[in-house]
Every structure is written in C-alpha cells, then in structure tokens.
Structure 1
Amino acid sequence: MKINKYLLQVIFLISLSLFTFSCKDDDGDVTPAVAIDRLDEGDRLFGRGVNELRSLIALSDNEELNEIAELFQYDVTHYKVTYKTTYLDEEIIASGLVTFPETTEAMPMISFQNGTIASNAEAPTVNTQTFLTLSSVASAGYIFVIPDYIGFGASSNLISPYHNAEYAGRAVVDLMRAARELASQEGYNFSGEAFLSGYSEGGYATLAAHKMIEEETPDGFELIASAPSSGGYDVKGFQEYFFSLDTYDNPFYLAFVALSYQSVYGYDDPLSDLFQEPYASAIPALFDGSKNGSAINAQLTTNISELLQPDILVNLDTDPKYSNFVAALVDNTITNWIPVAPIYMYHGTADITVPYESSLDSRSQFIAAGASAELVTLTNLVGADHGSGFLPYLVEAVNLFESLK
C-alpha cells in the first residue's frame, strides 16, 4: 500500500513541475459533422471505469485528490492523437493525448499544458502512466487534452521551441481542433466551451494559447477562461531575475531558451556569446531528447558567474552583439495585451524557481495594458514552492472550471 501511495503522489505531481461523422447533443439531436482539418490519426488506447478511477485516487490517501475524485461521474476512454500543426512555415505532425467521458451529453473541453520537460521519455504520449492518470479529470465531465509540445512525441526530431509564444500556442490550439474533430468522428459531443490550464511552462503555453484563440477565433470554440499557474510569462523579466542571482538550481532552463531561440529565429550568434566553456559547446548535445532536466543540470553549473559570459551579465541590454537574443526575449513576453475571456492566475508564494513576484508583475503588466483587475486575477497558493504548488493548483483549477460550466 505504501508503494501505491508513493507512486500516485509522483504521478499527480508530474514534472514540477477527426473524415467526418455526426454526434448527438443532450436532446438527442444530431449536431453538424466536423470537417477533418487538423486530425491525422486518433488511436484508442483503453478505457477506465469511474469506480476504477475513484479507487486509484483513494489509494493515494490525499485529501486534495479525493476532492477531485468526488466530482467523477463518467467512465473515460483515452486516445493517442497525431495532428497537423505548423512550425517554421512548414506543416508537421505533432502529438498529444485526448480523453473522453463516456456520455452522449455535450461536454466542455479542458486543455492541460504540463511543465518543462527535456527528454522524450517525459512526453505525455510516452509517459502515459503519469498523464493518463491526470486525464482522469475527464470523468468529471470534460474532454481532456494534453499536448506533447513541438519537439516531443511525434515531432521529437525537432528542437523544442521552448518558451516561444507562437509555437507553444499553436501546439495547444491545433490539438484542441484535432480533439474536436476526433470527437465528431468517434461520436462524442463537444459543447464548444473551452478551458485552458497549465503549470510552469504549461502556464506560459496556456497564456500563449489564450491569446492565439482570441486572435484567431477558431470555429466551434468559445473560450470561457484560462487558469495558468507558476509560469514565466514575462520572459525578459525572468531573464533579469536569473541574471541577478549568484546561483540557480535549474540552469538548464536558460540553456533551453537560448538553444530554442537560436533554432527558431535562425540567427548565427553562437552560444559562446552567452555561455562560458565548456558549457557553450556541450549544450546542443545535452538537448538531444535523451536526458531530463536533472541530467542536464548535472552537466552544467549552478554558479551563474561560471555559466554565463561576464560581459553578458553587464551589457546584455546595451551591446548590439546581444540584440537578437534580447529581441527574442521581448517578443515572447506575453503580458502586453487585453484578454476577452478572464485569466485566473495562480502561484505559490514560496516559489523561487519561477518566482512568485513574476506573476505579480505579469498581472500588473496586463492591467497597465488596459485589462481590468477583475479580468486578470491572481490567487496565492500560500506557502507553496514550485514543486508543492501543483496539487493545490490542480484542485483550484478544477473547482474553478466546475463553477464556470
């Protein structure tokens, strides 16, 4: 029993982080068939009964998880999905998970975005034990989707565009469209209402997807709200925080961002402009998809003055040599627009990995851009750090979405 309890806690903490058919609505009327545009393939994995899901949660002996389990109503069926999206102006195949509640009633959709991963083994469609357990939230009455992100799963041959707003948002929105198509194909009923949620990097991807949905207004979707948690939405601000430290326990974050932006924007600036040796030369191979963040951190240094070039710590914002990198940081900061649907932000007050103050600042930036204080809110996860904040956030987000259904 102790082993089961431990495994379930780890599973829920995770990375501390469709040709067309028609379906019936809850009145029995046939809803219009959805044309296949984004869906490549939807492979049924397996189903789980509602009692089985409740039993799995009960083994964890965790009050927060049991609170979610009380909402479970439906058996669920899990699918692995490949779908079409775009990356660097080319169509590619990406992947993700989709879970349906077994009902003909019209159900809303939740897209959940996970925290930072670096190895393909951590991708949702590969690490299915973890993420399909998380997907049990579908039993509460949601179509539940989780993208792998570009660079993992079906697109693991690519360098992941980490903390790039366009491709973070695109991976989410196109999977949601593919899930809508799969629902139509498999006879499930999507109500059109959509919610976005995500933790850490997933919080960033959630805001990027929120912005993209409101800019592009994809057919068949009404975004009700987003609930991002503990993300670095102000990428430039997070860089400034990082540079202000003497040590940082996750140096692979900055290495990942630098490698991503070099790949996405195609500039010739060498990594040695930012990083000292032997780290500059080692970084590309460290992100080959075989190593997780801990393994990459072990090959770097937590000492900022040893990791980064001395000149960049002083002259990043003034030396034209660094202008490409600075421009990329600014371009991918996503706090300078006015949302239509509400944003409910969450953050642990003891978080220093992605500092709590970053969410305070991000909310202030939204309000300065013209958003009302009621439209963009911040809920404090009191005493939680980057690891311990996930479960309280998950409960808060699910209860929030229940209240907005």
Structure 2
Amino acid sequence: MWYLYNASIRCILFALVCVFVVACGGSGDSSPAAPSFQRGEYVSAGRSQSVSASVIDSVLDGVAGSLAVSAVYDVRFLKLTYKTIDTNGRLTNASGVVAIPQKANNLSSPMLSLQHGTIYLDSDAPSNEDLSPLLSNPAQALYKTTGQAIIAASLGYLVVAPDYLGYGDSILAVHPYMHADSLATSVIDLILAAQQYFADNDIMYNRQVFLAGYSEGGYATLAAHKKLQELYSDVMTVTASAPGAGAYDVSQTALTFANSQQLDAPDYVAFVMKAYDTVYNLNRLGDFFQPAYVDFIDSAFYGDTTRTTIVTNLSATPDELFSSPFLQDFTGNGESELKAYFRQNDIYDWSPTSPIYFYHGRQDTIVPFFNVTSVMTAMQNSPVSITECASVPSDHGYCFLPYLQFVIDTFGALTNDL
C-alpha cells in the first residue's frame, strides 16, 4: 500500500510539472536532450569497411618471409569513438579501430587489444590510417596498426587498436608519451567500449582478453595489464599479454641515455621530455635543452611533424642536445623531481597473475635489453617468460616482424574459438 501511495503521489507531481511547463511555454526547444556518456562507453561507430580473406592473403604473400599465416575470415573494420579520461582525470573523447572477423553463424571470438608503437603524425593513428595504400603496398601494411589489426581479425580475433590520447578524436594537443596511467586508461576504456558495441550488435565475444604491442605499444600493453589486474579484476581477466621491446624501466632508461655518448633515437628522448613537461606542468624545456633546440622541441610534437624532420633538427649527442647544468644534475644527485616522475612511470615491479610473454632483442639500442632483465628479476615468482629475438641483427627494427609471428604463435596456442 505504501508503494502504491508513493507511486500515486509521483504521478500527480509529474502531471503538475508537465502542466506548468506547457503553461509557461517550456524552453521553446523540443529537441531531445543530448545523450550522456560515461567512461568506457562508445559514443559513435564510424562507417564500416570490409576486406576479403583473399585480399588479406595477397598482402601477406606480397612480403616474402613476412608472416607464416593465412587469412581464414573476411574482416569488417570501423572507427569507434569512446569516452575515457585525460591526464587530469577529465572525461574526454578518444578513438580507435575495431576489426571483426566475419564468421558464419555468428560464432564467438576472443578479443585482442593491439597497441601501436611510437608515431609522430596524427595521420598515422590507427583510426586515421588510409586503407587503400596499405593494401596496395604489402610491406607498409605489415608496419601499420590497421593492417596488423585486419590480419589478426582474419585469424579469428575481435581486434581493438586504440589511437591513444593526443591522436584521432582526442582533443589533447600533445600525446602523453610513455605516461603509464593515461596509456593504460585509453587501452582499457576502448576494450570496455568495444565490449558494449559487441553486445549492442550481437557480436559474440568469448571473454578471453589478449594484449599485445611493440615499442611504446609494448609499454602500453604492460601498463594496461597491470591496471586491469589491480582495478578491473571484477570486470575482466587478462588471458595473456605479450609486450614487445618496451621501456618498462623508464627511470633507468632515461639515466642510461643521459650517460651515453650517442643517442640512436634522439627523437624518442625529446618526445618523452616534451610529454612529461606537458603532463606534469613543468614548463622547463629551457632548463633541459640547449637554447638552439628549445623552440623546435616545444613545437615538434603536435601530430604534424614527421620523424625525419624531428631527427634532422636534433643532435644525437647528449652533451650537445641537453644543457650542461641539467645533464650534470640529472646524471648526478640533482633533478629529484624529474627523477620521481620517471619512477612513477616504471611498470616492471609488480606480481602478475596471468601469463606475460616478453619479447626483446638483445642488440636493441633504442630500447635497451635491460628493460626485460629488470622485469624478469622483479617478477621472478610470477608466470612470465622472455623470448629473445633471433634476428640478425637483433635490434629494435629487425625484431618487429618476428615479434608479430611470436604473438600469433603464442596466443594461437592459448585461444578458444578462432
């Protein structure tokens, strides 16, 4: 009776409110209210495109000795815009690619989240990549995230590939490069948004979640795995991850580069410094670098400058690139605040409960091999392993395609419903 009484009161109040609004003319706007989205929900799905298995096979056949796989399914892929948070915790839009195998009878599939490596141009973000030149240039397709996502989907995975903050639909001006928390959240929120999209569109997902990525993508993969285990274990469990050639020990990597005689990738170093200067509101680029480089570094990482241009405009010698006072302090006992920020982004010292399959080349000078030795020491009582790249040379670039084959083989032995 009390419930009926309350319901009657609510009906009467609602009717009075409606009469009042109509009598006053309302707001004059009869359009429906804009939908309110929460973090991890998808906002919109772009127009889908399709690629046949035969076309995917022609791409694979076009690169001799590339990947020992054959496409099983046609693939439909699309851009997904979703909600995540920025580096200040504010709700914002982000985007990525979703690739879906076209299975008969809507059979179930595992999910693979594929994290891209370092990019400088917004046009290289997965959701901005133009498919046509990828399919006409097989070698390029294998090095582009959209091409990799399509190949993985053709094997039977539901694939998601985040753009990250600072790219695609994100309004963040500078990508927070090598910033563990924002990389992890942009990955996780796309996974959640894609799961919602699959449910809304009757796409069967078997609840297995795999994570993979190389270089910055390897770092993002481990950061996402860590956060999923720590904060999302009641929502999903990572089946396995395979981080490749990532700088998991950020603080030691930074110190190693500062103490080196020559930088193989001064662009990576400048990108990290610009990103941390932005994320942590330091405004100290003038302290970090020699005056000749400050203005260029300050303007070079907004998604419109090529890597070639960046490298051409930077010295590869730390003594010439960095200011002398900074270099002396950083390699000594100074710069405690900056060193603390680097340590905040170290992600190697935790105890995973799901398998992690690390992959790295011993001759990698861009992301030194000690990053995986730090991991293996810290995680020695956890289900982790390291596979060394056997390419000659086993450096950062030459190990990428072998890494893709490693992921295909390793996850293929663990998946259901391919």
TM-score, length-normalised on structure 1? 0.85
The amino acid that maps onto 1:236 is: S
- What are the equivalent positions in structure 2 for 1:91-240 lying under 5 Å apart? 91-103=91-103, 104-129=106-131, 130-135=144-149, 136-217=151-232, 220-240=235-255
Worse-superposed segment, 171-180 or 220-229? 220-229
Give the Cα separation in 1 of the matches to 2:235 and 2:195.
8
The amino acid that maps onto 2:356 is: I
Shift of 1:36: 9.5
Counterpart contact for 2:215–2:367, Cα < 8 Å: yes
Worse-superposed segment, 89-98 or 210-219? 210-219
Where does the alignment leave 5 or more consecutive residues of structure 2 unmatched? 1-37, 132-143
- Could you report, residue by residue, the CA deviation over 1:351-394 in whole angstroms, capped at 9, with x for unpaired residues? 11112232223322333xxx33xx12110002321111111000
Shift of 1:37: 4.9
The amino acid that maps onto 1:83 is: Y
Give the Cα separation in 1 of the matches to 2:65 and 2:310.
34
Counterpart contact for 1:86–1:92, Cα < 8 Å: yes
Corresponding residue for residue 76 of structure 1 = 75
2:345 matches 1:332: yes
- Could you report, residue by residue, the CA deviation over 1:167-219 in whole angstroms, capped at 9, with x for unpaired residues? 01011101111111111122211111100000000000000000011012266
Corresponding residue for residue 246 of structure 1 = 261
Q: Which one of 349, 352, 359 corresponds to residue 362 of structure 2?
A: 349
- Could you report, residue by residue, the CA deviation over 1:151-174 in whole angstroms, capped at 9, with x for unpaired residues? 011115421111111001011101
Aligned to 2:396, the other structure's residue is in SS state: coil
Aligned to 1:63, the other structure's residue is in SS state: coil
Give the Cα separation in 2 of the matches to 1:212 and 1:364.
20
- C-alpha change, 1:192 and 1:208, in structure 2 (3 Å) is same
TM-score, length-normalised on structure 2? 0.82
Aligned to 1:79, the other structure's residue is in SS state: strand
Give the Cα separation in 2 of the matches to 1:150 and 1:144.
19
Give the Cα separation in 2 of the matches to 1:318 and 1:305.
15
Q: Which one of 301, 317, 322 corresponds to residue 287 of structure 1?
A: 301
Counterpart contact for 1:267–1:324, Cα < 8 Å: no
The structure with the largest alpha-carbon Rg is 2
Counterpart contact for 1:109–1:142, Cα < 8 Å: yes
Aligned to 1:196, the other structure's residue is in SS state: strand
Corresponding residue for residue 27 of structure 1 = none
Aligned to 2:96, the other structure's residue is in SS state: strand
Corresponding residue for residue 301 of structure 1 = 315
- Could you report, residue by residue, the CA deviation over 1:324-363 in whole angstroms, capped at 9, with x for unpaired residues? 2111100000011111111110011221111223222332
2:90 matches 1:90: yes
The amino acid that maps onto 2:385 is: T
Shift of 1:78: 0.4
Corresponding residue for residue 277 of structure 2 = 262
Corresponding residue for residue 400 of structure 1 = 410
Corresponding residue for residue 22 of structure 2 = none
- Could you report, residue by residue, the CA deviation over 1:57-94 in whole angstroms, capped at 9, with x for unpaired residues? 1222x2342x122xx32211001111100011111101
Q: Which one of 264, 278, 281 corresponds to residue 292 of structure 2?
A: 278
Aligned to 2:375, the other structure's residue is in SS state: helix
Aligned to 2:290, the other structure's residue is in SS state: coil
Aligned to 2:60, the other structure's residue is in SS state: helix
CA RMSD of superposed structures (Å): 1.8
The amino acid that maps onto 1:99 is: A
- C-alpha change, 1:46 and 1:209, in structure 2 (3 Å) is same
Counterpart contact for 1:36–1:181, Cα < 8 Å: no
Worse-superposed segment, 254-263 or 224-233? 254-263
Give the Cα separation in 1 of the matches to 2:49 and 2:198.
16
Give the Cα separation in 2 of the matches to 1:334 and 1:294.
30
Aligned to 2:198, the other structure's residue is in SS state: helix
The amino acid that maps onto 1:94 is: A
- C-alpha change, 1:300 and 1:325, in structure 2 (3 Å) is same
Counterpart contact for 1:112–1:198, Cα < 8 Å: yes
- Could you report, residue by residue, the CA deviation over 1:279-334 in whole angstroms, capped at 9, with x for unpaired residues? 123211111211122211111111110001223333226555x2221111000000
Q: Which one of 45, 48, 56 corresponds to residue 48 of structure 2?
A: 45
Aligned to 1:125, the other structure's residue is in SS state: helix
Give the Cα separation in 2 of the matches to 1:68 and 1:332.
36
Where does the alignment leave 5 or more consecutive residues of structure 1 unmatched? 1-34
Give the Cα separation in 1 of the matches to 2:389 and 2:145.
23
- C-alpha change, 1:302 and 1:194, in structure 2 (3 Å) is same
Count how many residue pairs are aligned between Structure 1 and Structure 2: 360
